[in-house]
């Protein structure tokens, strides 16, 4: 079973200790990475541990638990609110919380909430696979005109794969730069394009960058090498350095 990492944000030490013990004893696969006493500590813990689930109290000193969302451009974790006050339920629902647990927390409700997380992840994985298959099927395999369909808010835009210089991850979206320097924004993540374009010799040189090596014009050595592409972009190479060099430098 895959490990599910958690962070608890709770100002009452007794309540946080009790929740932690319930999770560790009864919730198989869940691991509490950190306990924070307020929102500020919680933000630091989330950035450090990148948890799957955040158990979030609402009424805390200095700042309400709801203010946690103000510190992130994108929420890539599920939130389970834990509170003794029922009047916040509607607001929690509007924030698309995974669950809302009333204190004192009942074990079965905690188990139900964690099972809901597992089910949601299964559905997301299924959707991810379907999106990948849909994108894959959009590649036109004609020998001289391989194309990819890029989904946008208006529909699909079709481009020759050979015209793509690079793809860049931006807050969950992907910016695709073409050889005419036109930028296309897609709601699909960079990993999906990495899976597809790897078949066409594209290289993931950085967690945020996928490049077409045909457009490399310069390689600058150093502790962190830099590739310069034909669109003028300078991209750090943190992975696949040898693959880039081997592509261009042949043994004599």
pLDDT one-digit tens code per residue, 89-142: 666 666 678 889 999 999 999 999 999 999 988 887 776 666 555 555 554 444
Whole-angstrom distance, CA of residue 221 vs CA of residue 241: 10
pLDDT attached to residue 74: 77
Q: How do strand 78-83 and strand 99-102 relate by DSSP bridges?
A: parallel
Please give the CATH architecture assigned to the domain spanning 147-248: Beta Barrel (2.40)
Task: Give the chain's residues under pLDDT 50.
Answer: 139-144, 251-252
pLDDT attached to residue 143: 44
- Residue limits of CATH 3.40.50.2300 in the chain: 4-132
pLDDT attached to residue 94: 63
Instruction: Name the class of domain 4-132.
Output: alpha beta
pTM more than 0.75? no
pLDDT attached to residue 142: 41
pLDDT attached to residue 252: 43
- Residue limits of CATH 2.40.50.1020 in the chain: 147-248
pLDDT attached to residue 79: 94
pLDDT attached to residue 129: 62
pLDDT attached to residue 45: 96
pLDDT attached to residue 244: 81
pLDDT attached to residue 172: 77
């Amino acid at each position: 079973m895959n490990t599910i990492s958690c962070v608890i944000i709770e100002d009452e030490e007794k309540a946080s200790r009790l929740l932690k013990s319930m999770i560790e004893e009864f919730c198989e696969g869940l691991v509490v990475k950190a306990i924070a006493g307020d929102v500020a500590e919680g933000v630091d813990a989330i950035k450090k541990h990148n948890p799957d689930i955040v158990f979030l109290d609402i009424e805390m000193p200095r700042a309400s638990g709801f203010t946690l969302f103000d510190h992130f451009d994108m929420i890539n974790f599920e939130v389970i609110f834990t509170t003794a006050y029922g009047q916040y339920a509607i607001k929690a629902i509007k924030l698309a919380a995974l669950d809302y647990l009333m204190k004192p927390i009942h074990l079965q409700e905690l188990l139900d909430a964690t099972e809901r997380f597992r089910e949601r992840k299964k559905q997301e994985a299924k959707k991810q696979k379907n999106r990948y298959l849909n994108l894959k099927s959009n590649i036109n395999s004609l020998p001289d005109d391989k194309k990819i369909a890029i989904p946008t808010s208006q529909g699909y835009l079709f481009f020759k794969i050979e015209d793509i210089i690079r793809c860049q991850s931006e807050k969950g979206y992907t910016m695709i730069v073409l050889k005419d320097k036109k930028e296309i924004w897609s709601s699909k993540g960079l990993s999906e394009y990495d899976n597809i374009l790897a078949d066409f010799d594209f290289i993931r040189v950085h967690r945020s960058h996928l490049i077409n090596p045909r457009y490399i014009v310069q390689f600058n050595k150093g502790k962190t090498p830099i590739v310069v592409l034909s669109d003028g972009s300078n991209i750090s190479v943190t992975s696949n350095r040898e693959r880039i060099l081997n592509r261009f430098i042949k043994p004599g």
